[in-house]
Amino acid sequence: MVVLAEICGQRLIPGIDTVHYQAAMADLMTDRMLNSNMAIFDKHLRMAGPASPPSDSP
């Protein structure tokens, strides 16, 4: 989940927002596994802080 949170936090995929990642996780997991992974995802996003838009320069 840390990788997904990093991708989300850096907005590496235009048009895909936090709710999309959360919905995908809910589609793939249930109960305790979903809750544990959502907690990791949310914690990592909070630690990363607000994202800036991706840069077009290399």
pLDDT at residue 54, as a whole number: 52
At residue 48, the pLDDT reads 77
pLDDT of residue 1: 81
Check if the beta carbon of residue 41 is closer than 8 Å to that of residue 21: yes
Answer whether 12's CB lies under 8 Å from 52's CB: no
The whole-model pTM stands at: 0.75
In tens, the pLDDT along 16-54 reads 999 999 999 999 999 999 999 999 999 999 887 665 555
Length of the chain: 58
